Chains A and B, each alone.
Chain A
Amino acid sequence: MNLEKRRIILRLLKEKTTRRWMSTFTFLVCILFLLIFLSLLVESTLLLSKYSLKELLFSSKWNPEKYSFGFLPAIIGTIYVTILSMVLATPIAVLSAIYISEFASSQKRILISSFIDILAGIPSVVFGVCALLVLVPLVSNYIGPLIGVETTGMCIFTASLVLSVMVLPVIISLSTESLKSLPVELREASLSLGATKWETIKKVLLKGAAPGIFSAILLGFGRAFGETMAVAMVIGGKNQIPSSPFSAGQTLPSLIVSSFGEMMSIPIEQSALAFAALQLFFVVTIFNFLARWIKIKLKKRWGV
């Protein structure tokens, strides 16, 4: 009897400790987020104490060796590249998602999905190398002359092309998920009222899956925003406000990756790079919260 009691107590104890362990770990992950934010903030203080936020964010002169740190070209370059790549990728991704969830036979679906998953798993440096060897000459020798601009191929446009390929899998798989999760009754009801398949998709399914698709696009945005290696290899690393999509530029991540190893020992430059990282961190965080919020809002509105 006594033995039985001990066994029960031990089991309950185990139960308690495992739960505590799990909650501690989960909590630690959340703390990590704050720690990263704080450490970047601390690292940036040196720069922020010497320059006003206004001149950092709105001056376009970046020359660390002469102690001028203007982030404007990199900020504009980042926005430019991100938006251009999303404009290229979003329509393709959404249409692909519709095809996969509504039209493709199950065999095709499995085949396509596995290819898309592979695309998502390819390291970004591989994309960068491919872009440098294939896209850059393509843009400078064919696409540029076709449009009638002179370009070296190392430019905003090329970087956007690479990025659009890289964010495709993210948007496609998430959009497919939200289309698939719609109840069959929706489709059946719409079709039984005499709507064609395309009308059903356009008027019913896309509306129903909108919150999911929207947050997929925003997550793609976040991914494009922070992509580093592939962009750094083809953007041309020029700290000036780009005059056209075919001129070289710079993004915040490429700025960080191209000067970090060399300049770590100069406190002010290290601080400047930490500040660039802080800006990225800030924007990506906002984007993630925005994606969540929009999803919730839309769900409420359409009652899906």
Chain B
Amino acid sequence: MNNKWVRFILILLFLSGCKSGREERREIRVSGAWALYPMMLVWAEEYGKVSGVKVEVAGGGAGKGVSDVLSGQVDIGMVSRPIREEEIKEGAFYVAVTKDAVVATINSKNPIIKEIYKRGLTKEELRKIFMGEIKEWGEIVGKELKDDKIIIYGRSDASGAAQVWAEFLGNYTQGDCKEKAHANFDGDQAVALAVSREKNSIGFNNLNYAYNIETGSFAEGIRPVPIDLNENGTLDPDEDFYSNREKFVYNVSIGKYPSPPARFEYLVSKGPFKGEAKKFVEWILNEGQKFIEESGYIKLSPEKLQEEIETLNRGRRK
């Protein structure tokens, strides 16, 4: 009996010793968009090496990131879509840290793939395809082909990629695209798989699914769709940058590829970034930029980078 009490008191003493002295918390919690999750893991690790601050990263989707930040459960939220009015009203403040791009993807055995790579598709043609106004591949090149009915694939989950793609096509939402698609899939990977299996299909993917990250060439069975930007009916040399990943990424970062469907990835906080979180974001916008390309993302242009650093320090958007 006596023995028990002694043990109990000792344990209590031990536990109270653990929480002695409230020093400043040297850890940062991050949650949010899956699209930015792999990049954030790299940053978290590298930043930990140089600063000794522990960064804990969780996924969950852009909405979870924002609501976690607003409710104070995490310090930084990751968002891979434009921040919504409702979120800004609640006090969300955001800084862009990297870019990625969404491309239309077709099957490598597409019936008119040669022509597509010669002439590209204009934005209007893409709009008509995704809205179901052009129903056959042959219509684009003015030929009667057999078995060329276009199959449209989209995303069933709420995703930033689907939103920026809809935005690029015109005044549309992800919901509009979903309704016009023949089938929608959960996640980028599933869309890529479906496109690689159906020769008449068209979908859209993040560039990391359109290209193979290791080799830099096209992913198995799918091809990105080149966009005819000046709409002159041919793919000019300066529009033809789809042959490998490196070339494509470079052209996105210098702004050759339109935005949307290129998109910024944001970090969000409640009100201006403060303390450790601010230091971390500052590091991301400076030293952290050198890890971006090897992780499969796209650097911000120097001007944009400068602008975001100023925004971070100002503590509000212009």
Contacts and interface: CB of A to CB of B under 8 A. Distances in A.
Given A265-B86, A266-B87, A267-B86, A154 B184 contact: yes
Interface in B157-214: 157-160, 163, 173-176, 178-179, 181-186, 190, 194, 197-198
Interface in A248-273: 248, 254, 258-270
Interface residues of B, number: 42
Interface string A222-234: 0000000000110
A43 to B, nearest CB: 13
B86 A152 contact: no
Interface residues of A, number: 36
Contact of A261 (B63, B81, B84, B173): B63
Interface stretch (B64-72, B129-137, B250-258): B64-72
Contacts of B186: 232-233, 237, 258
Contact of B178 (A66, A132, A232, A238): A238
Given A62-B175, A66-B175, A237-B178, A232 B67 contact: no
B62 interface: yes
Contacts, number: 112
Contacts of B92: 265
B61 interface: yes
Contact of A264 (B64, B163, B185): B64
B175 A237 contact: no
Contacts of A64: 175
A248 B181 CA distance: 9
A154 B185 contact: yes
A260 B61 contact: yes
B233 interface: no
Q: Is chain B's interface secondary structure helix, strand, loop, or mixed overall?
A: mixed
Interface string B118-154: 0000000000000000000000000000000101010
Contact of B175 (A65, A153, A261, A262): A65
A240 B178 CA distance: 9
Given A65-B173, A232-B156, A258-B158, A264 B61 contact: yes
Interface string A211-225: 000000000000000
Given A232-B156, A264-B63, A63 B176 contact: yes
B173 A63 contact: yes
B63 A263 contact: yes
B60 interface: yes
A263 B63 CA distance: 5
Given A237-B186, A238-B184, A248-B182, A262 B84 contact: no
Contacts of A238: 156, 178-179, 181, 183-184
Nearest to A233: B186
Given A236-B183, A267-B86, 9 more contacts: A65-B175, A150-B149, A152-B151, A152-B183, A233-B185, A237-B156, A239-B175, A254-B156, A265-B65
Interface of B: 59-67, 70, 81, 84, 86-87, 90, 92, 149, 151, 153, 155-160, 163, 173-176, 178-179, 181-186, 190, 194, 197-198
